[in-house]
Structure 1
Amino acid sequence: MRILNICAYTWAIGGPARIIYDHTTEVLRLGHQVDILSPMTPGEKMYPAPEGARLIPCARTTPISNIYREFSIEMYRYLVKHIHEYDVIHMHGIWHFGSLAPFLIPNKAVLVITIHGLLDQWAVAHSKWKKDLVTFLYQKRLLGKADLIQINNTDEEADVIRYLGYRPKNMVIIPNGMKVPDFTNLPPKGIFRRKMGIAEDEQLVLFMARLNVKKGLDLLLPAFEKIHRQVPRARLVLAGPDDGYQAQAEEFIHKHQLTSRIQLAGMLTDAHKKEALADADLFVQPSYSEGFSISVLEAMTSRVPTVVSDRVGFGDYIRQYDAAFLAPLNPDGVAEGILKILQDKAFAAEVANRAFSMVTENFDIRVVAGRLLEEYKKIKK
């Protein structure tokens, strides 16, 4: 099969790019062809493409793309010229032009949409007027016309049913996968701490995601302010690109005189990310909304104990395995989780081990990619 993924395939977009990378690596190994069509703003850093895949960047068309995400005349022209070459068109996300364009051009490809958590109630309420307009114009109809809707979990299943008013026959639950070996052999401890000036006896609490309010930073920052006096050697590192919340984070840090306890590390990629995970005592991400948090899976695969909300995309698995401290969405709940992990080493180790078992038993990319390929084949036209 020849497969085309459509996604803003950049470092800043985070999880979806990693998901496509890992899935593509496995699909190529199985003998298929993969292209990645990525609308992007000039200057954005592209995520690396797996060897053997073709990455096709196309410029967003401004100023329209500032209002209607990923609008790109260049992408549309590419599809008009080449869409007939593909067996599968896999669109990642909704609400944007990349998930509309393939439906506007006659083709015989299997049309697949992965929701990536974007029908979660919190996500739908964000920029609601735009989403109401897109819903009115086409979004519900296109989900009904797609040959396959991939969702990650039962929570997302409920989101789709609530949005459409029915359960579509073309919907299948397949979780995202992880290349487990990538995070089982981490760099030596101490590299990231030396770079950040964090002493060996300090406890490193790591947040690694886009600095966006939906990641729960408005809960994490006051939670850390509550507990840092009880754990005076704790240090919080916020690692991720600004996505609308960095100014508020910096204001909070200065207002509460936490500049010596909270550091912003910017976006970490490749080896730098693994160095941070190797040195972390705790990973925290109290998100309001996620499709399927790859950063949390990376931490769990690295055997770092985690404090997360049940909205990270696989809360049902976490409950089944007791694989993390599931914090309620308030500062006190997040603070309780951080304290429990930092102060109870036996509990932290048990949580980390159960999380690793959860990942390896359910989210290995070799199993997940095979399941998705089988779904493609079932409906191949």
Structure 2
Amino acid sequence: MRILNICAYTWAIGGPARIIYDHTSEVIRQGHSVDILSPMTPGEKMYPVPEGARLIACARTTPVSDIYREFSLDMYKYLKAHIGEYDVIHMHGIWHFGSLAPFLIPNKAVKVITIHGLLDKWAVAHSKWKKQIVTALYQKKLLGKADLIQINNTDEEEDVIRYLGYRPANMVIVPNGMKLSEYSQLPPKGLFRSRHQIRKDQQMILFMGRLNIKKGLDLLLPAFLEIHNKLPETILVLAGPDDGYKQETEDFIRKNNLSERVRLVGMLTDTDKKEALSDADLFVLPSYSEGFSIAVLEAMASKVPALVSDRVGFGDYIRRCNAAYLTPLSSQGVAEGFLKILQDHAYAQDIANRAYQMVSENFDIQVVANQLLEEYKKVQKST
């Protein structure tokens, strides 16, 4: 098969780029062809491209793209010239130009849309007026026209049904996966701590994600302040690019005199990220909305005990396997989770082991990639 993924393929976009990377690596290994069509702004750091794949970068067209996400005339021109070369066009996310453009040009390719959690109640309410316009103009119609809608879990199934008002026949549940082998041997402990002046005897809480309120930072920061007096040697590391909440975060740190206890380290990639996971005592993501958090999977694959909300994209698996501390969406709930994991070492080790087993059995990329390939083939036969 000749597959085209459409996504902003940058480090800043986070999970979707990682999902494409791992899936592409596996399907190329099986003999398929993959291109990645990515709108970009000059200066953005592009995500690594798997060996054998091709990245086609298209400049965003400003100022329109400042209002309509990822609008790119270059993308449209590329699709108009080359869309007939592909068997499958896989669009990642909705609400942006990349999920519309393939429907504007006549073609026979199988069209696949992965929702990535963007119909969650919290996500729909964010920039609500823009999404109401897009919904009225075309979004519901496109979901009906897609040959395949990939969702990750039953929560997302409910989101789609609520948005459309019916359950589309073209919708399938296929979870995202990751290349577990990359986390089988982490860097030696102490490298990240040494670089950021964190002592061996200090317990390190790690947050990895964009600095955006949807990640639950408004819960996480007060929770850390609450436990700070009980566990004064605890350090909070916030690793991620600014996405609208860095100023509030810095203001909170300054107001509460936490500059010695909170490290803002920016976005971590590659080896730096693995060094942080190697040194972490606890991973935290009390998110209001996630499509399917690869950061959580990475922490679990690294055997770091996790404190997360059930909105990370696979809360049903976590609950069934007792694979993390599932916090309610409140600062008090997060604080209680911090104390439980950091003070009860047997519990922390138990949930870390359960999480590793859960990820190994359900989310290894070889298993998941084959599931999605089979869905591509089913749709090809029926069209």
TM normalised by structure 2 equals 0.99
Q: Does 2:175 correspond to 1:175?
A: yes
The SS at the match of 1:13 is: coil
Q: Which residue of 1 aligns with 2:238?
A: 238
Q: Which residue of 1 aligns with 2:295?
A: 295
Q: What code does the residue aligned with 2:114 have?
A: T
Q: Which residue of 2 aligns with 1:281?
A: 281
Q: What code does the residue aligned with 2:85 have?
A: E
Q: Which residue of 1 aligns with 2:32?
A: 32
Deviation at 1:66, TM superposition (A): 0.4
Q: What code does the residue aligned with 2:163 have?
A: Y
Instruction: Provide Cα deviations, 1:6-39, integer angstroms capped at 9, x if missing partner.
Output: 0000000000000000000000000000000000
Q: Which residue of 2 aligns with 1:89?
A: 89
Q: Which residue of 2 aligns with 1:50?
A: 50
CA separation in 2, counterparts of 1:347 and 1:160? 36
Instruction: Provide Cα deviations, 1:64-109, integer angstroms capped at 9, x if missing partner.
Output: 0000000000000000000000000000000000000000000000
CA separation in 2, counterparts of 1:140 and 1:81? 27
CA separation in 1, counterparts of 2:105 and 2:34? 20
Q: Which residue of 2 aligns with 1:218?
A: 218
The SS at the match of 2:52 is: coil
Give unmatched runs, 5+ long, in structure 2. Answer: none
The SS at the match of 1:267 is: coil
CA separation in 2, counterparts of 1:91 and 1:287? 24
Q: What code does the residue aligned with 2:107 have?
A: N
Deviation at 1:178, TM superposition (A): 1.1
Q: Does 2:244 correspond to 1:272?
A: no
The SS at the match of 1:227 is: helix
Deviation at 1:183, TM superposition (A): 1.1
- How many residues are treated as equivalent by the alignment? 381
CA separation in 1, counterparts of 2:301 and 2:350? 14
Deviation at 1:53, TM superposition (A): 0.1
CA separation in 2, counterparts of 1:73 and 1:178? 32
CA separation in 2, counterparts of 1:27 and 1:71? 28
CA separation in 2, counterparts of 1:213 and 1:8? 21
Q: What code does the residue aligned with 2:132 have?
A: D
The SS at the match of 1:11 is: coil
Deviation at 1:305, TM superposition (A): 0.1
Q: Which residue of 2 aligns with 1:311?
A: 311
CA separation in 2, counterparts of 1:263 and 1:187? 20
What does 1:72-221 correspond to in 2, within 5 Å?
A: 72-221=72-221
CA separation in 2, counterparts of 1:208 and 1:243? 13
Q: Which residue of 2 aligns with 1:247?
A: 247
Deviation at 1:2, TM superposition (A): 0.3
Q: Does 2:2 correspond to 1:12?
A: no
Q: Which runs of structure 1 show a deviation greater than 4 angstroms over 4 or more consecutive aligned residues?
A: none
Q: What code does the residue aligned with 2:121 have?
A: Q
Q: What code does the residue aligned with 2:120 have?
A: D
Deviation at 1:173, TM superposition (A): 0.1
Superposition RMSD on alpha carbons, in Å? 0.4
Q: What code does the residue aligned with 2:91 have?
A: M
- Identical columns (%): 75
The SS at the match of 2:342 is: helix
